[in-house]
Amino acid sequence: MIFIDACFKKPTPTAPAWLMRQAGRYLSEYLATRAKAKDFIDFCRRSDLAAEATLQPVEILGVDAAIIFSDILVVPLEMGMKLEFERGAGPVLPRPIQNESDIDGLSDNAVDRLGYVYDALRLTREHLAPDKALIGFAGSPWTLATYMIEGGGSKTYAIAKKMAYSAPDMLHKLLRKLSDAISGYLLRQIDAGANAVQIFDSWGGALEKEAFFEFSWSYMLKIAERIKSARPDIPVILFSKGAGGYLESIGGDFDAFGVDWNTPIERAKNLLFDRYALQGNMEPARLYDKAAIESGVREIARVMGKADGYIFNLGHGMQPDFSRENAKFLVDFVHQTFAR
């Protein structure tokens, strides 16, 4: 699996490529699979449908890794929180966490209630070609906490930040509980066939530097360390959107760092590439245009060269209005450009 080799900085015949949020509405096949489910949560719970959606981008785009189709919010869901996905409006958690007793009320059994994700992983691994890696994932404790406290997406994170500055012990209690659940969840995903795991810290960059390390990064590292001590053979990838200004202070036991598109890849290379594999970071909007794709890939290749330990990805996720043709063009162009 060239994806796994690259995570461990071993030589590969070209740079492996996959795209964050590669399963999604830009694929008509995804929409057809989704139509078989009652709603988005039912889709996540139907292991056969989840496996189907996971395999689609591998077959259509030729990426080197599949990422299990699910959502980061299944963890709060199975901790007992009410969750709704309203079409077009994003996730809504109508009874957000407001106090200590709400935190105490969260179930400790989420890891056991997520069996449908493990089933989907087993089913996917059975059908996936042996040279393609299967990536398991979870949201970071901080990113999940923002949804659980705000009751959905947010532009300012005002309520979560208010807790961070005015009731830090309460926030830490929630983050500890989430970290325990996520560590167990990722280990169970590995047992079910995940060949690597990624933690998505989509909203880490909402925090100033000191707060980022206190409330987000330290918990991601704790989870990574638990996984690395139990399963040193499994690469751990950490992705924090918006942490580009904090790279000087990044360290700890994990394998690959996901670079977002706001961070110049040269900066990530200079500060991290001696210790970590790097994954990223083409601006996703370049997918609107083939010439923009070519110049984006060439610029990354100019910086990274053909060094071992580079994994191509976008600097954030695929969007529903992207074209599959351009996505396929991108993956082929990456494989060609980075061929040794």
CA 4 to chain CA centroid, nearest Å:
16
Q: How far apart are CA 184 and CA 194, in angstroms?
A: 13
**Residues 144-183: x where in contact with ligand CP3 by CB under 6 A, - otherwise, as a string:** ---------x------------------------------
Per the CB < 8 A criterion, the answer to whether 298 and 331 are in contact is no
What's the min distance (Å) between Cβ of 72 and ligand CP3?
4
Q: How far is CA 4 from CA 198, 256, 257, 316, in A?
A: 12, 10, 14, 20
Tokens of 108: 């400790």
Among 26, 30, 118, 147, the active-site one is 147
- b or e along 142-162 (b: 16 or more beta carbons within 10 Å of the residue's beta carbon)? bbbbbbbbbbbebeebebbbe
- Cβ nearer to ligand CP3, comparing 34 with 222: 34
Q: For residue 302, count CB atoms less than 10 angstroms from its CB and return exposed for 0-12, middle for 13-18, buried for 19 or more.
A: exposed
Among 71, 102, 180, 308, the active-site one is 71
**Does residue 39 touch ligand CP3 according to CB under 6 A?**
no
- Cβ nearer to ligand CP3, comparing 12 with 146: 146
302 is catalytic: no
Q: Which stretch binds ligand CP3 (CB under 6 A): 5-13, 15-23, 105-113, 230-238?
A: 15-23
Of the candidate residues 17, 51, 72, 93, the single one contacting ligand CP3 (CB under 6 A): 72
Residue 71 is inside which H or E element, if any? none
**Residues 304-333: x where in contact with ligand CP3 by CB under 6 A, - otherwise, as a string:** ------------xx----------------
Helices (H) and strands (E) in the chain, counts: 16, 9
Alpha helix (H) ranges present in the chain?
Answer: 2-7, 28-34, 40-45, 47-61, 74-78, 100-104, 110-113, 115-127, 141-150, 158-166, 168-191, 209-211, 218-230, 265-272, 290-304, 324-337
Strands 90-92 and 133-139: unpaired
87 is catalytic: no
Q: How many CA atoms lie within 13 A of 279 on its CB side?
A: 29
Among 5, 26, 34, 201, the active-site one is 34
34 is catalytic: yes
Q: Name the amino acid, one letter, at 133.
A: A
What's the min distance (Å) between Cβ of 100 and ligand CP3?
26
**Does residue 123 touch ligand CP3 according to CB under 6 A?**
no
What backbone torsions phi and psi does residue 76 show, to the nearest 5 degrees? Answer: -60, -35
30 is catalytic: no
What's the min distance (Å) between Cβ of 281 and ligand CP3?
13
**Does residue 67 touch ligand CP3 according to CB under 6 A?**
yes
- Cβ nearer to ligand CP3, comparing 23 with 234: 23
The closest alpha carbon to 315, from 225, 202, 188, belongs to: 202
- Cβ nearer to ligand CP3, comparing 84 with 289: 84
**Residues 89-118: x where in contact with ligand CP3 by CB under 6 A, - otherwise, as a string:** -xx---------------------------
Q: Which stretch binds ligand CP3 (CB under 6 A): 23-31, 272-280, 292-300, 302-310?
A: 23-31
Q: How far apart are CA 257 and CA 245, in angstroms?
A: 14
21 is catalytic: yes
- Cβ nearer to ligand CP3, comparing 55 with 304: 55
Site for ligand CP3 in 244-303 (CB under 6 A): none
User: Which residue in the shown chain puts its C-beta closest to ligand CP3?
Assistant: 202
Q: Among all residues, which ones are annotated catalytic?
A: 21, 25, 34, 71, 147
Q: Which residues bind ligand CP3 (CB under 6 A)?
A: 20-25, 34, 40, 67, 69, 71-73, 85, 90-91, 137, 153, 200, 202, 241, 316-317
